[in-house]
A and B are shown apart, each in its own frame.
Chain A
């Protein structure tokens, strides 16, 4: 059928379209019925789907061949941003390309898993000894660069995407346990390296009431929004928390709070199911993939998507600290939609370019 010929996966496509549709309703509501903002969001989504369709046409073999180059380009951009940041004497995450602004660390979310998968396929699996060392370097250098921008949220997500590749590639359990123990032991030391505002976010999570008008404000207001939504919700356009301007960032990072307030538990759980099904489909595509490169990449991209929505919803419902990670597809603004959709394009390409199609 046509979708198959376009190398699109029906299941993923429909799920994403549902999310896109809901997101338009939600942006309209959370921006105080701004048609302009809704139109802008629709434009971004359209751009995202365009990129998805383009990426789906690329054969996985091509992508594999390009992996080191894309990785090199992403590294160069990350360095450029850092250099510009030094000149501009401040935090710098953007490269301005005329009308379009671009956040190079976003590209790394795709480039890093591709590079690691490419590396492992060439060096044989599972990763051992010096190869593991090289892989860790491939992983940590860009993460360090992004963390230095400083953009810890994105750095953590890129790190997680890379670690997923290592794990799926079959890194030995002994090393995994060793690293986990080392990480746990290092946590108290890491505390010293955090900025004050980062420590405060964590402390606030433990006890939001400690500073209700200051740092705890986001968390408290978003939990009130979610909780007051109840079972059936207050109905579309009726989020008092957002419309009466109690909830900050209600159309960007905290958009899920508005959704939960307006559509209640039923809506929230259904939305959660859609997100979970998308991840499940990603895992299924990874499972069916026919070579190591595509399955590692598909697995990593799916986990990365999962982490995005898990961290965001966790933050909105007050079980994770406030970090600036938007809810995929739903949150207004940002450039993340393009890399996100590109990732899904890659997943679809992997799925539809298989040589033997099962009955």
Chain B
């Protein structure tokens, strides 16, 4: 203010005062205008609008559509709607409220809380309105009320449909669940489509196929008097039920996989290679989705969150694991295809590998090594040194570019929301995060350790691609939509998600024969499930390190706490000649792929191929093979 001459200051003040006065006059005029408008509407036009208000008598009442059912491939119901009975009373139709309540109290259980809440509504709500006395009546209670209904004026039994998952936790990680529409939901949905509907798919298939399952809302045009009392229905537009969703999943297969995993944490994904149909999609432990439908209480939810086994995590979809030696099933093809490496030349395995000019030893799981091994022996016995050398020859970018077409490092495109991408690392990826790529990381890339991460779903899709000789399909959990009324079907088919191109098509058969030898030859790491199998399996075991083993230290399983033990993996498909099923199994902290994961895969394959589960006798001891 000091640097402005005084004259200007007064001039500014004067100009401002004038301008402010003009604005104030404008405001006054406009406020007067509003006042006049209100006076006009509420006195002179009052009668007119009063009449219109009285005549406002027809209003649309939404009728929510029943949600589509979810069934497995054999028609087993996985998600259904069952009626929940609600007891409602219309006070003005009841002569003696006390006596009616007494009678009802004799027929069904009424708590003090029910009565208290009802009394409160009775004081607050208009007398013509139906007031809720109790919800969730049992079938028996509903029947009893229905029986006495003729003698109970003004008592109404309302049935609302509620979502129910009859199998409880089985399959919850693919099904998901519906829950109350939240405030966040309201902002993204088309509100008119959800009029009268209280639930929305939150997770899994329920969310993915929300639009198809929802159906179309119907309307009743109800004539009311000026106080809102319903007089009659003028017009009714019936709701259209949501379409029923049939899955590719076999609920029994799923139960078998869940039982095979038992109390262990893990995942099983089974895919039909030729079609991309997902036959089983299991993550354990599971949890019961039913409490979520009407809002789970915070204590139960906290228990689920705090459970050290993390049941809420979808391990099949979002569990990211180092693939361990299962990656050799894929890199074996690279050995045959690569220009930088001769897959036909045997390699000496002294039990360790070191980079030129470095003293760091990358150890093989087998002390003393495998001797001279070709690709077949390297895969069958899971020789690490062979794949260290292969990885070193391929370079990390070479590995990444080779593995990417199988679907690693990107979403598989499965019909479930929020899929994880896993990770195919490269020096570029690491440098973008300000970190340096070490040569050692290239070496361990060859045995699926280091930064690479894959989901069980990706491993299953990759295995299916081998079975398909390179064709990669988007896995599909849902198979078809069926209109409840017209029975019209819409097939949901898997789209192609690229192809693994090879120079020589014969390499596929070579690779697959080596993978079959893993299971069916005595030296094979999965001979334990192969020696008595009535069909031929191609597979690869894997063990993913959780705890780093220091130089010179050795891994002694029982000396390590369970949570730090290795993850056990097994990937496979069968029968080798015409593949019907590709399976990926992971057992967290399960130890060895051969003993912990492979038997689970065998049970799943037995069910699909033989239609029954053979009781597998204890695996014969073949080698001291830890894989």
B-binding residues in A (CB < 8 A): 33, 124-126, 164, 167-170, 223-231, 240-241, 243-246, 260, 264-265, 268-269, 272, 275-276, 279-280, 283, 286-287, 291-292, 295-296, 299, 303, 306, 310, 313-314, 317-319
The one of A223, A264, A286 that contacts B20, using a Cβ cutoff of 8 Å: A286
Judge if B300 is at the interface, Cβ distance under 8 Å: no
Q: Are B42 and A287 in contact (CB under 8 A)?
A: no
Binds A, one of B32-40, B80-88, B592-600: B32-40
Q: Are A264 and B42 in contact (CB under 8 A)?
A: yes
Q: Are B38 and A269 in contact (CB under 8 A)?
A: yes
Q: Are A230 and B42 in contact (CB under 8 A)?
A: yes
* Bitwise interface map of B from 16 to 36 toward A, beta carbon under 8 Å scored 1, else 0: 110110011001101101110
Smallest beta-carbon distance B55→chain A, Å? 9
Known: A227-B48, A264-B42, A276-B31. A244 touches B224 (CB 8 A): yes
Q: Are A303 and B43 in contact (CB under 8 A)?
A: no
CB-CB < 8 A to B50: which residues of A?
A: 227-228, 230
Output the residue of A126, A227, A260 with the most chain B CB within 10 A.
A227
CB-CB < 8 A to A241: which residues of B?
A: 53, 56
The one of A33, A244, A286, A296 that contacts B228, using a Cβ cutoff of 8 Å: A244
Q: Are A124 and B8 in contact (CB under 8 A)?
A: yes
Q: Are B20 and A299 in contact (CB under 8 A)?
A: yes
Smallest beta-carbon distance B230→chain A, Å? 11
Q: Are B23 and A283 in contact (CB under 8 A)?
A: yes
Known: A230-B43, A231-B42. A168 touches B34 (CB 8 A): no
Smallest beta-carbon distance B76→chain A, Å? 39
CB-CB < 8 A to B199: which residues of A?
A: none
Known: A167-B19, A230-B42. A291 touches B34 (CB 8 A): no
**How far does the alpha carbon of A223 sit from the alpha carbon of B227 in the complex, in Å?**
19
Known: A240-B227, A265-B39. A228 touches B23 (CB 8 A): no
Judge if B614 is at the interface, Cβ distance under 8 Å: no
CB-CB < 8 A to A229: which residues of B?
A: 42, 46
Q: Are A223 and B49 in contact (CB under 8 A)?
A: yes
CB-CB < 8 A to B228: which residues of A?
A: 240, 243-244
Q: Are B38 and A224 in contact (CB under 8 A)?
A: no
Smallest beta-carbon distance B26→chain A, Å? 9
Q: Could you list 10 examples of A-B contacts with CB < 8 Å?
A: A126-B12, A224-B56, A227-B45, A229-B42, A244-B228, A264-B42, A265-B39, A272-B34, A283-B27, A317-B38
**Chain A residue at smallest Cβ distance from B224:** A244
Known: A167-B19, A241-B56. A227 touches B41 (CB 8 A): yes
Known: A283-B20, A317-B34. A224 touches B42 (CB 8 A): no
**How far does the alpha carbon of A164 sit from the alpha carbon of B26 in the complex, in Å?**
12
**Chain B residue at smallest Cβ distance from A233:** B42
**Chain A residue at smallest Cβ distance from B121:** A33
The one of B20, B31, B59 that contacts A246, using a Cβ cutoff of 8 Å: B59
Known: A243-B228, A265-B38, A317-B41. A167 touches B23 (CB 8 A): yes
**Chain B residue at smallest Cβ distance from A244:** B228
**Chain A residue at smallest Cβ distance from B24:** A283
Closest 8 CB pairs of A and B: A227-B49, A228-B53, A265-B42, A170-B15, A227-B41, A230-B46, A244-B228, A228-B49
**How far does the alpha carbon of A124 sit from the alpha carbon of B226 in the complex, in Å?**
63
**How far does the alpha carbon of A227 sit from the alpha carbon of B33 in the complex, in Å?**
16
The one of A168, A230, A314, A317 that contacts B16, using a Cβ cutoff of 8 Å: A168
**How far does the alpha carbon of A251 sit from the alpha carbon of B16 in the complex, in Å?**
39
CB-CB < 8 A to A226: which residues of B?
A: 38, 41-42, 49
**Chain A residue at smallest Cβ distance from B28:** A276
CB-CB < 8 A to A268: which residues of B?
A: 38, 42
Output the residue of A264, A265, A314 with the most chain B CB within 10 A.
A265
The one of B35, B46, B124, B226 that contacts A269, using a Cβ cutoff of 8 Å: B35
Q: Are A223 and B41 in contact (CB under 8 A)?
A: yes
Q: How large is the interface on B (under 10, 10 to 19, 20 to 34, 35 or more residues)?
A: 35 or more
**How far does the alpha carbon of A216 sit from the alpha carbon of B46 in the complex, in Å?**
20
Smallest beta-carbon distance A310→chain B, Å? 6
**How far does the alpha carbon of A292 sit from the alpha carbon of B19 in the complex, in Å?**
13
The one of B12, B59, B226 that contacts A245, using a Cβ cutoff of 8 Å: B59
CB-CB < 8 A to B31: which residues of A?
A: 272, 275-276, 310
CB-CB < 8 A to A228: which residues of B?
A: 46, 49-50, 52-53
Judge if B618 is at the interface, Cβ distance under 8 Å: no
CB-CB < 8 A to A319: which residues of B?
A: 33, 37
CB-CB < 8 A to A299: which residues of B?
A: 16, 20, 23
**Chain B residue at smallest Cβ distance from A234:** B53
CB-CB < 8 A to A243: which residues of B?
A: 228
Judge if B556 is at the interface, Cβ distance under 8 Å: no
Known: A228-B50, A310-B30, A310-B31. A170 touches B41 (CB 8 A): no
**How far does the alpha carbon of A241 sit from the alpha carbon of B28 in the complex, in Å?**
31
Q: Are A287 and B38 in contact (CB under 8 A)?
A: no
Judge if B621 is at the interface, Cβ distance under 8 Å: no
CB-CB < 8 A to B49: which residues of A?
A: 223-224, 226-228
CB-CB < 8 A to A33: which residues of B?
A: 124
Smallest beta-carbon distance A196→chain B, Å? 19
**How far does the alpha carbon of A124 sit from the alpha carbon of B48 in the complex, in Å?**
56
CB-CB < 8 A to B19: which residues of A?
A: 167-168, 170
Q: Are A164 and B38 in contact (CB under 8 A)?
A: no
Smallest beta-carbon distance B145→chain A, Å? 27
**How far does the alpha carbon of A286 sit from the alpha carbon of B23 in the complex, in Å?**
12
Q: Are A310 and B53 in contact (CB under 8 A)?
A: no
Judge if B4 is at the interface, Cβ distance under 8 Å: yes
Smallest beta-carbon distance B118→chain A, Å? 15
**How far does the alpha carbon of A225 sit from the alpha carbon of B30 in the complex, in Å?**
22
Smallest beta-carbon distance A206→chain B, Å? 16
**How far does the alpha carbon of A55 sit from the alpha carbon of B254 in the complex, in Å?**
61
Q: Are B12 and A125 in contact (CB under 8 A)?
A: yes
**How far does the alpha carbon of A80 sit from the alpha carbon of B216 in the complex, in Å?**
37
Smallest beta-carbon distance B127→chain A, Å? 14
**How far does the alpha carbon of A229 sit from the alpha carbon of B48 in the complex, in Å?**
11
**How far does the alpha carbon of A97 sit from the alpha carbon of B52 in the complex, in Å?**
46
CB-CB < 8 A to A291: which residues of B?
A: 1
**Chain A residue at smallest Cβ distance from B124:** A33
Known: A226-B38, A228-B52, A310-B34. A292 touches B16 (CB 8 A): yes
| Known A229-B46, A295-B20; 12 more pairs at CB < 8 Å | A124-B8, A227-B48, A227-B49, A228-B49, A240-B56, A240-B227, A246-B59, A269-B35, A272-B31, A276-B28, A286-B20, A306-B30
Q: Are A224 and B12 in contact (CB under 8 A)?
A: no
**How far does the alpha carbon of A277 sit from the alpha carbon of B50 in the complex, in Å?**
31
The one of A244, A280, A317 that contacts B56, using a Cβ cutoff of 8 Å: A244
**Chain A residue at smallest Cβ distance from B51:** A228
* Bitwise interface map of B from 92 to 130 toward A, beta carbon under 8 Å scored 1, else 0: 000000000000000000000000000000001000000
**Chain B residue at smallest Cβ distance from A313:** B34
Smallest beta-carbon distance A64→chain B, Å? 11
CB-CB < 8 A to A286: which residues of B?
A: 20
Smallest beta-carbon distance B100→chain A, Å? 24
Smallest beta-carbon distance A256→chain B, Å? 10
CB-CB < 8 A to B52: which residues of A?
A: 224, 227-228
**How far does the alpha carbon of A313 sit from the alpha carbon of B24 in the complex, in Å?**
19
CB-CB < 8 A to B227: which residues of A?
A: 240
Smallest beta-carbon distance A140→chain B, Å? 21
Smallest beta-carbon distance B271→chain A, Å? 32
**Chain B residue at smallest Cβ distance from A287:** B20
Output the residue of B31, B43, B227 with the most chain A CB within 10 A.
B31
**How far does the alpha carbon of A201 sit from the alpha carbon of B37 in the complex, in Å?**
20
Q: Are B38 and A272 in contact (CB under 8 A)?
A: yes
* Bitwise interface map of B from 511 to 529 toward A, beta carbon under 8 Å scored 1, else 0: 0000000000000000000
**How far does the alpha carbon of A311 sit from the alpha carbon of B154 in the complex, in Å?**
47
**Chain B residue at smallest Cβ distance from A243:** B228
**Chain A residue at smallest Cβ distance from B22:** A167
**How far does the alpha carbon of A141 sit from the alpha carbon of B459 in the complex, in Å?**
52
**Chain A residue at smallest Cβ distance from B18:** A170
CB-CB < 8 A to B59: which residues of A?
A: 244-246
CB-CB < 8 A to B39: which residues of A?
A: 265, 269
